[in-house]
Structure 1
C-alpha cells in the first residue's frame, strides 16, 4: 500500500503550492521529493519521528489560525452554519447498505471502522513507531492520543471546508476557473482569508507540506525496514554489518522515493486526492487485516492457505479499484453534484465550454448568462 500511496503524498503539497505561487507542479515535485528523501535516508526513524513532531505543530497551528480568522471574517459560527445549511452542505450519511453509494452507512461506518483498525493496529508504518516505545503501556497511550488527535484534525479539516463554502457560496471558483480542481479550493480560500497577513499563506502551505511529507517519510522508512527484514536478511548466510545495513536502508529510501516522484503524473490524472488515497489504500488494507486476524484467532491455518487468501483478496479488490477508476476517468461513474452559484462574482470570467442545459441544472446563474458571455 505504501508504494501506491507515496505519489499521492508528493502530489498534495505540490498542488497546494502551485495554487498559491503559480509554480508548476512538475517543478515542485522534484524539490519536495529530494528534501524528503534526504532527511529520511540520513535521519532514519529518529529523524522521521522528530520531524513529524515539528510538522504536526506547524500543521495544527496553521489550521487553527485559518479557522479563527475565517470564522471572524464571515461574522461568526452562526453565519458559517447557516450558509452551509441553506445550501444543503450539512448532510448525514445515506441510510442504505448499498456498497455502491458513496456516502452510505456501509461505506462510512463499517468500511471506516475496518480501515482505521488496520491503519492504527497493523500498518507497518505505525507498528514501526510502536516498537520505538519502551513498553506496552506506552503503546496503548500512544494509540489513544493518536485517535484523539486524528479526530481533532479531521474536524478541523471539515470545518475549514465549511468556511470555504461559506466564503464562495455566491461565486464558485471552479466554475469561474479561479481554481483548476476541487483540491485547489482550500488553498484559494486561505489566500483570500489570510493573504493580507505577511507569511501566513506560507505558514498554511508549510502545514500542508508538513502533513504530506510526514506521511511520505514514514512510508519510505517503514518500506526500507520491510525490504531489509523480509527480502534481504533471510537470503544471506552472514548477517549484514552496520555499515551495510545503513547502505541498504538508505538505498531503498532513495529508490522508492524516486519511483514515487516519477509516478506523480499518473496521480495527477486520476481525480480527487482524498478519494484516490482511500481507493488505493483499499487494495491492501482488507487483505492485510484479514491475514493478521487469522494469525491471531486461527493459528492452525497454514501459511500456504493464508498467502493464497491474501493473493485472491488483493487481486479481487484491485480489480474493483481499477475498474472504478476507469469508470470515473471515462465519465461512466459520477457522483451527484451539489448546486453552486456564480450570481455574485466580483471579477470577470469566461463560462466553461461545457456550459449547457445539463450543467445549468446544477449551477445557479443569471437568466441572461450565455455560454460565451463574461459575467461580472
Structure 2
C-alpha cells in the first residue's frame, strides 16, 4: 500500500524544481532589464526560436488536468479516450495551412485584435475578449487543483496549501520574467514532464511483467472496449465525439491568447508552421501515452489483486495517479519528488501561460484606450502588465477552491469549461475567416446564441444526459482492508456505484 508521506529527498527535489523555475524567471528579468518595452515583455521582442516555443506550446496544452485526469478516465471508462489524439492531429494539420499564415501576417499582440480588424467593431472585440478571459480564468482555477490533489494524496498536505504554492510560484516567475521567462521555464518543465511520465510508465510495466501482459490484462478487464461509431451525441465516448469533438477542442485551444501570442512571437511564418506541425506530433503521442498510463494502473492493481477504490483507500478518482506512483516508487528516495515535480511542471506551465496572456489582453484590449488618452509611458504599461499578472494569479487561486466541488475528474471539468466559452469564440473566428459576407450582426448574434446553447446543452447533460457506466473494478481479494471488512461483516462503499451520488469524487 502507498505511504502517506514523502522522504526528505523528495522534498529536496520538489524545492529544487520550484526554485529553479523562479530562478529562470529572475534570470530573464535581469537579462532583459534594459529592454523595457511592452513588445519585449509581452511578445519576447518577436524573436523567439522554434524549439523553445514548440516545447512551451506543448506543455501549455498538456496541463496538469490531463496528467491526473486522463489516466483516471481510462482506468474507469476505458482506453477509447486516446482517440482524442487523432482529433489533435487533424486540428494541427488544418492550422498549419490556414490559421498560421493568416494570423502570423497580422503580427497581433492580442488575439482579439483580429475581430476589430475583421468586423470593424471595438465593442465586439471587447465582448469576445471578456468571454475568452472568463474561460481562461475558470480553466486555470481547475488546472491548479491537479498538483494540489497530488500533494494531498502523497504527502497529506492540505489542498489549500498546494494551491497557494503552485499559484504563487507561477505568478511570481511570470510577472518578473515576461514571455521570454515563461517560455524558458516551459522548456525546463517539458523535460521534467517527459522524464516523469515515462519513468512511471516503464516502472509500472516492469512491475506488471511486460507490456504484453499489461495489455492482455487490460483487455480482459474491459479497459480496451470496442470502438463505438454511434452518431448519438449523448454517447459519452464515441469515435466521432472524440475525434471530431477533439479536433474542434484543439482548434479552440489554437485560437487562444496563449497560442496566438507564441505564434506571433516567432520571426517568420515558416517557423510558426514548424512549431505547430511538431506540436501536433508531440501532443498526440502524449495523449496516447497518458491514456495508456490508466491501463498500466489497472493492470498493476489486477496483478496485485487490490483495487484501491473498491478497497476504500481512495474516494476521488483524481487521486489515482499519485497513489499509483507512490505504490511503484515506494522505497526509492527522490522518485516521489520527481513525480510531484512532473505534475507541478504541467500545472505551472499552463497557469503561467494563461495569466501572461490575460495580462496581454488587459493591456491591449481593455486598457489601451486609457493609455492612449493619457500618453502613458512604456514603463507604466509594463508595470500595469505585471500587476495584472499578480491580480489574475490571485483570482485563479481563489476560484480554485470552489472548483474542487465540481463532480467528475478534473479533465472533464476542464473540457466542459473550455468548450462552453471557447467554442463560440472559435465560431466567430471561422465566420470572419471563411465567410467574406459575414458582418457584425452575424458575429454578435452568433456569439450570443452559441453561448446560450452551450449553457443549455451543458445543463441538460448534467440533468438529463445519459450517465456513464463505469467498468468493473480490478480484483480486490488481496486487499487487507477488504479482508478486515469481510471479517467484521462490514460493507465498504463502491466508489464506482452511481447510486452513492457524488461521494466518489470528493475527499471527505
TM-score, normalised with respect to structure 2: 0.67
What pairs up with 1:1-376 in 2 under 5 angstroms? 1-120=135-254, 122-169=255-302, 170-235=305-370, 236-271=372-407, 272-325=409-462, 327=463, 334-349=467-482, 350=485, 354=493, 359=497
**Residues 316 and 360 (structure 1), Cα distance of their counterparts in 2 relative to 1, 3 Å cut:** closer
Q: Following TM superposition, by how much is the alpha carbon of 1:105 offset from its aligned partner in structure 2, in angstroms?
A: 2.8
**Residues 251 and 318 (structure 1), Cα distance of their counterparts in 2 relative to 1, 3 Å cut:** farther
RCO higher in structure (CA 8 A, sep ≥6) = 2
Q: Following TM superposition, by how much is the alpha carbon of 1:333 offset from its aligned partner in structure 2, in angstroms?
A: 5.7
In structure 1, what is the Cα distance between the partners aligned to 2:173 and 2:312? Answer: 37
In structure 1, what is the Cα distance between the partners aligned to 2:429 and 2:293? Answer: 37
Q: Following TM superposition, by how much is the alpha carbon of 1:28 offset from its aligned partner in structure 2, in angstroms?
A: 1.3
Paired residue total: 356
**Residues 355 and 217 (structure 1), Cα distance of their counterparts in 2 relative to 1, 3 Å cut:** closer
More displaced stretch, 347-356 vs 299-308: 347-356
Q: Following TM superposition, by how much is the alpha carbon of 1:212 offset from its aligned partner in structure 2, in angstroms?
A: 1.1
* 5+ residue gaps, structure 2: 1-134, 500-508
TM-score, normalised with respect to structure 1: 0.89
More displaced stretch, 41-50 vs 231-240: 231-240
* 5+ residue gaps, structure 1: 362-376
More displaced stretch, 303-312 vs 343-352: 343-352
Q: Following TM superposition, by how much is the alpha carbon of 1:150 offset from its aligned partner in structure 2, in angstroms?
A: 0.3
Q: CA RMSD in A?
A: 2.3
Asked if structure 2 preserves the Cα contact closer than 8 Å seen for 1:233 and 1:240, the reply is: no
More displaced stretch, 340-349 vs 308-317: 340-349
Asked if structure 1 preserves the Cα contact closer than 8 Å seen for 2:153 and 2:322, the reply is: yes
**Residues 126 and 333 (structure 1), Cα distance of their counterparts in 2 relative to 1, 3 Å cut:** same
Q: Following TM superposition, by how much is the alpha carbon of 1:128 offset from its aligned partner in structure 2, in angstroms?
A: 0.4
Q: Following TM superposition, by how much is the alpha carbon of 1:323 offset from its aligned partner in structure 2, in angstroms?
A: 4.5
More displaced stretch, 340-349 vs 301-310: 340-349
1:218-266, Cα deviation, whole Å (9 max, x unpaired): 0101111112111110344144312211122112211111111111222
1:32-65, Cα deviation, whole Å (9 max, x unpaired): 1111111111111111111111001000111111
**Residues 215 and 355 (structure 1), Cα distance of their counterparts in 2 relative to 1, 3 Å cut:** closer
